[in-house]
Amino acid sequence: MSSANPSATPAPEPHDRTFASDGPSNAAKLNWLRAGVLGANDGIISTAGLVVGVAGATTALGPVVTAGVAGVVAGAVSMALGEYVSVSSQRDAEKALIERERRELAEDPEGELAELAAIYRAKGLSATTAHAVAAELSAIDPFAAHIEAELGLDPDDLTNPTHAAISSGAAFTAGAVLPIAAITLAPAAVRIPFTFVAVLVALAVTGTISARLGGAGKRRAVWRLVVGGALAMAVTWGVGRLLGVSGL
């Protein structure tokens, strides 16, 4: 019979890096999902406005589909490029901060230890406890301890600009497919109203998803998207109708 105390707390398993993780955090995953929903919304609204505007100027399906496809390609490339540039700039800034922290830690380890202890004191720990926590974490991995506490970063989990660009372009394209499909498949007599309804339903769905991801009120999020999408389509349809009637 074992003499070990079953209520005793087992010793923690050793780790190579205290702050290493097996994958993106839940917050990072939510940010990716939220960005995907926003990209899809952008694709839905901008493409819907484009095809409805052209449909307001002509009843021929060819120009409508051509304009829609061109808008999808241009919008997806623009979204992907913008996301790539933005994330690359952010990543470069994060790398610069990480390298500066590495240099400061090598040049003044005692000063950095005091700085780390001050961070934990600011979070409510006593001076003695804050210093003990900072010293213990620094003994395991001082670089990881400082990067996490001071910068809130993980050097091994920085956002990849290529992945961000692909995700943004794909989300935009996925959203843009719906209005093109709606206006293409609907009978000519109800092409525009059918597209209006399909787009507004899709925006209501994405608004609900966005609200759940962000923990916000569903009604307000859905209302903003639906009203905004309806206004965008109404304005572009009106412009297309005026240009079509004037023969421009």
pLDDT in tens, 93-148: 888 888 888 888 888 888 888 888 888 888 888 888 888 888 888 888 878 887 88
Answer yes or no: are the C-beta atoms of 144 and 8 closer than 8 Å.
Answer: no
The answer to whether residue 132 is domain-embedded is yes
Q: What is the C-alpha to C-alpha distance for residues 113 and 136, in angstroms, rounded to an integer?
A: 10
Q: What is the C-alpha to C-alpha distance for residues 20 and 3, in angstroms, rounded to an integer?
A: 35
Tell me the pLDDT band of 164, cut-offs 50, 70 and 90: confident
The answer to whether residue 18 is domain-embedded is no
Question: What length is written for the chain?
Answer: 248
The answer to whether residue 227 is domain-embedded is yes
The answer to whether residue 15 is domain-embedded is no
For position 26, what pLDDT does the model report? 55
For position 27, what pLDDT does the model report? 54
The answer to whether residue 248 is domain-embedded is no
Answer yes or no: are the C-beta atoms of 80 and 166 closer than 8 Å.
Answer: yes
Residue 13 has pLDDT above 80, yes or no: no
The answer to whether residue 23 is domain-embedded is no
Taking Cα atoms as reference points, which of 93, 206, 64 lies closest to residue 151?
93
The answer to whether residue 12 is domain-embedded is no
For position 70, what pLDDT does the model report? 94
> Count of domains in the chain?
1
Domain of residue 159 covers 28-239
160 DSSP assignment:
P
Q: What is the mean pLDDT of the chain?
A: 81
The answer to whether residue 101 is domain-embedded is yes
